[in-house]
Amino acid sequence: MFSLTELQDAADLVHAHALVTPQIQWPLLTQRSGADVWVKHENHLPTGAFKVRGGVVFAERQAREGTGRGLISATRGNHGQSLAWAGSRFGLKVTVIVPRGNSPEKNAAMAALGATVIEHGTDFEEAREEAHRRAAAEDRVFVPSFAPDLVKGVATYAFELFQAVPDIDAVYVPIGLGSGICGTILARDLLGLKTKVIGVQSTGADCYAQSFAAGHLVPGNRADTMADGIAVRQPDAEALRIILGGADRIVTVTDQQIAAAIAAYWTDTHNLVEGAGAAPLAALIQDAAALRGKRVALIASGGNIDLALFRSRVV
């Protein structure tokens, strides 16, 4: 999808707009899991999530190529925030379609960043269909959640991590539509590393886990999870191809395990991590016996959890 030189160029672009995020070894997480745990803190980025990296790379290309067309996409929040944040820096108007009942805090954040926020449909898939329709009708650039520029942008977090922490045995990555895990696989391969990449999904939204087990795309029919960042029911074919070729396995965790992992992040690191970002820790705790003594990285992909959800499901 891209070369090592192109990945370095993307990292330079991202770093011109956002600081390198830290990777921190947390002793209490090590005690809790038995592994040597390093956390990549994407929750420290300006929008509170990793997606902004891809937004910067995508928006910069659109601005440089000078189409003058606005961007439109569907989102549950982090993708839309990334486009709004990046669009404001490159002079691009951004519209995001969210499902009805979407996180009011994420909606407010996107609007505050300059995006036009429109509610449509009952879930992400229906919102995405509406975004496609409006893109054609209004002559806008539709921005998918999985595209080469987005993957290249988010791959920069893995590029940072692998260069900063040597000899990582395994890295756990949450899977929404797949840009994060694919970027991690591609960065690992470009650097010639042998780190195992393990995807994590919710038991209530496990379309990639089912597809990985089958070895081919299995359309999902549910996205029932508190972790809205991974509440996806339809896999992306290109993402699945990369995952099948480079992931070690995909594990699933329950919402109860995710909630416990959010609480563990708070008590052990005093970081607030959203459901998708906490899913890798939940998976590591589930796999603890097999990874005792191993060096393991966790992608804390974001920290954008609504206060009401935090209160009702975590504390």
Give SS3 for 245.
Answer: helix
- Residue 59: CATH number of its domain: 3.40.50.1100
Please give the chain's pLDDT, 315 residues, in tens: 899 999 999 999 999 999 899 999 999 999 999 999 999 999 999 999 999 999 999 999 999 997 778 999 999 889 999 999 999 999 999 999 999 999 899 999 999 999 999 999 998 889 999 999 999 999 999 999 899 999 999 999 999 999 999 999 999 999 999 999 999 999 999 999 999 999 999 999 999 999 999 999 998 888 899 998 998 888 999 999 999 999 999 999 999 999 999 999 999 999 999 999 999 999 999 999 999 999 999 999 999 998 989 999 897
Both 158 and 39 in a single domain?
Answer: yes
Both 170 and 270 in a single domain?
Answer: yes
The pLDDT value given to residue 124: 85
Q: Tell me the C-alpha distance between 95 and 228, whole Å.
A: 20
Both 57 and 74 in a single domain?
Answer: yes
Exposure on the CB side of residue 76, measured as CA atoms within 13 A? 23
Both 155 and 130 in a single domain?
Answer: no
Q: Tell me the C-alpha distance between 257 and 269, whole Å.
A: 18
Both 56 and 174 in a single domain?
Answer: no
Listed residues 114, 142, 170: the one ending a domain: 142
Both 212 and 66 in a single domain?
Answer: no
Listed residues 117, 142, 167: the one ending a domain: 142
Both 105 and 159 in a single domain?
Answer: no
Give SS3 for 95.
Answer: strand
Listed residues 95, 123, 142: the one ending a domain: 142
Both 239 and 299 in a single domain?
Answer: yes
Q: Are 178 and 235 in contact (CB under 8 A)?
A: yes
Range of the domain at 10: 4-48+148-313
Structural domain total, the chain: 2
Both 116 and 205 in a single domain?
Answer: no
The pLDDT value given to residue 259: 97
Q: Are 42 and 18 in contact (CB under 8 A)?
A: no
* C-alpha separations of 117 from 25, 106, 135, 141, 239 in Å: 38, 10, 14, 16, 27
The pLDDT value given to residue 88: 95
Both 283 and 190 in a single domain?
Answer: yes
Both 95 and 197 in a single domain?
Answer: no
Q: Which amino acid is at 137?
A: A
Both 191 and 106 in a single domain?
Answer: no
